[in-house]
A and B are shown apart, each in its own frame.
Chain A
């Protein structure tokens, strides 16, 4: 049986950095997959994600990427291009982490046969505790459509519905709970690290 790993990576605590993780959450909420697909919140786990790659023949990664494009622009990269592109330019914000994961999987001889990276150019990262900006959140449905079509072409079918899985974020930090439960601006500072110093005074 061909097996797919659908992976969201990023840190939900850094605003648009959470794009990847939120995509997988949204996917589990609107599509029913079978046993041949694992929907996983990879967080920022880097090398600790290796075992999941080993088990997969197909890999879809959602992530915030930096191509220097207009914020909110999506960028799709496939196959050999994924690691190579990552090496050439700073594409994924986790590239040091995830690029190494792919390289290591290749060295170990168990990298998935086919790779698809669905990236989104972030608007805001320097907002610790913040959620997705609207334009980035608006990319999620299209990102899911692309992923489902790509998987469908390769025999990984899904239908409208839900995928029950324990491999997503704890409910207390799922998108709605996390964003709605945020402390006020008075309580929680909104500045972040603009490489690496805050731009706000």
Chain B
């Protein structure tokens, strides 16, 4: 059957059906089904969030000051950003203003998370879709050294001996019989295009990135008191500052600040000398693989983040841009008001929830999370072993959020499209520079590779911002301001009987919002609309497909039974389906299945 969607895609669900379940190397559970035609080109895509995420209901009745600690546990990678969003929502509801130092420290933490997540995502989750570590064993270390020096002359680790050592380490690892992190690859698939030397260079950087990310995490320990689950505080940040070596043990002193500074510099170097050059070099070999643009050329959404001043979220004060692009019109950047019930609404016609009537959209403040699991008449298989989902009915645990009715892409590429369209200086410079270096037109941005490149550019930009806020923090402390928290409204007796608030951030993977309703000192309602709710959204009542689904359309697969192209595009969103990280089947058998029917 052929369907034309209102957002411009032609879906044809005849032909072979490919089922990937679960999609690996992501956070949380996701299933993806596509139809391919006789040329193995994708003609229909169905994205299913396969886990129930009822954080909203488990927070009911809890103390709003504790909500961050619960939201921090939603997932294995965006702990801090959920916590930040949560404290912002509660502060908004209670009218709490945070001190300048808290704003700087939160920005440093949030930017740290962006950089950490982008680097780990690229090297440890996404690169293996493009880079073949097994092929790296065939590389000539001397030629690899020459390639490294050509790609990034400033990177010190580039001698033939260095690459030979790494290659030997890899060899020993692979020969030990446990491929470990490199298992589940489709290493002889013709979709891999890098020469062995580029594979060795990139695999080497996989290891360098592992070393670096250990350092990056230390910034969270310093400001958050501990890692991997840093502390957060409604009203500010929970770390006292004491640069005069008196007072609280564990306070932020100059020694710790210097450590932070050195880590920030290391990240800046890595982004400049390794991450960006790698993306350009690897991207160069895949220049003709321009699939995966999906919604990015027509509908992008960003809430914006990284405020210059505390308590001021007006768009012109944000370093990461806010705005919405619709209908592919980059000449208009709409302002976004997350409080406006007309702007953000969630629909559940194709989601396993019940809003009481079809076609109904609810703003998150009015959101309800009532589960209703039912499968469509055309589903194949059984309830516990679904062979093929029926996308004409309900088919996902993810709701379908829409901005003024539009399905939107969020994330680094969406932020960069919004920034580029609104003439954001740094973003425009970066994008133009990259396109020039790679000799590509602007349209190339709207692709899986564009999404991957935007993430790298953003990591670089965030590094500079992090340094800026670090200097700002230190200057403010030296000027005598050591305040990090405002506890004037800490006691529930100071709160209104009933109040609502919203917290927004730009998580590494996209716009994140928490909406809270506090009543008599307790959480009455709590709704999270996470980035992957936007990107992984199922169809809505009008039939608009979501960002993942749109991005998979029209992609040509080399071998449908080895869905490397699907993984490339889905991974490029850095999906995070709210994590419990358990990945198992009822019989405890093999994890990933790819079925072609």
Q: Tell me if A108 counts as interface (CB < 8 A to partner B).
A: yes
CB distance from B394 to the nearest CB of A (A): 11
State whether A170 touches B52 (Cβ < 8 A).
Answer: no
Interface stretch (choices B192-200, B303-311, B585-593): B585-593
Range class of the A interface residue count? 35 or more
Please give the distance in Å from B395's CB to the nearest CB on chain A: 11
- Measured CB to CB, the residues of B under 8 A from A are 24, 29, 31, 50-55, 57-63, 66, 69-70, 72-77, 79, 120, 124, 169-170, 173, 178, 180-181, 207, 210-211, 213-214, 217-218, 225-229, 231, 369-371, 373, 383-384, 386, 397, 579-589, 591
Q: A93: which of B50, B226, B370, B584 is its contact (CB, 8 Å)? A: B584
How many Å lie between the Cα of A129 and that of B76 in the bound state?
Answer: 16
Q: A17-B582, A44-B76, A187-B61 are in contact. Are A129 and B229 (CB under 8 A)?
A: no
Please determine whether B180 and A106 come into contact, CB atoms closer than 8 angstroms: yes
In the assembled complex, how far is the CB of residue A131 from the closest CB belonging to chain B, in whole angstroms? 11
CA distance A133 to B65 in the complex (A): 27
Q: Which residue among B51, B69, B371, B582 has the maximum number of chain A CB atoms within 10 Å of its CB? A: B582
Given contacts A48-B217, A193-B50, A198-B373, contact A166 B61 (CB under 8 A): no
Which single residue of chain A is at the shortest CB-CB distance from B372?
A: A201
Which chain B residues lie closer than 8 Å to A176 at the CB level? none
Question: Contact: B583 with A100, CB < 8 Å?
Answer: no
Chain A residues with Cβ below 8 Å from B231 are 170
Number of A-B contacts (CB under 8 A): 186
Closest chain B residue to A49 by CB distance? B228
- Complex CA distance for A97 and B226, rounded to whole angstroms: 21
Q: Is A1 an interface residue (CB 8 A)?
A: no
Interchain CB contact (< 8 A) of A14 among B226, B397, B582: B582
Residues of A within 8 A of B52 (CB): 126, 128, 189, 191-193, 198
Chain A residues in 8 Å Cβ range of B53 = 128
CA distance A97 to B120 in the complex (A): 14
Residues on B with beta carbons closer than 8 Å to the beta carbon of A189: 52, 54, 57, 369-371
Q: Closest Cβ of chain A: how far from B526's Cβ, in Å?
A: 11
Q: Which of B228, B580, B591 contacts A42 (CB 8 A)?
A: B228
B178 touches A83 (CB 8 A): yes
Q: Write out the residue numbers on chain A whose beta carbons fall within 8 Å of the beta carbon of B66.
A: 170, 172-173
Q: Are A107 and B173 in contact, with the CB atoms below 8 A? A: yes
Whole-angstrom distance between the alpha carbons of A41 and B229 in the complex?
8
Chain A residues with CB below 8 A from B225, complex form: 166
A51 touches B217 (CB 8 A): yes
Contacts of A199 in B (CB 8 A): 384
Given contacts A67-B588, A103-B178, 13 further A-B contacts (CB under 8 A): A13-B70, A17-B580, A44-B76, A87-B180, A90-B589, A129-B57, A172-B62, A172-B70, A181-B62, A193-B52, A195-B384, A198-B371, A199-B384
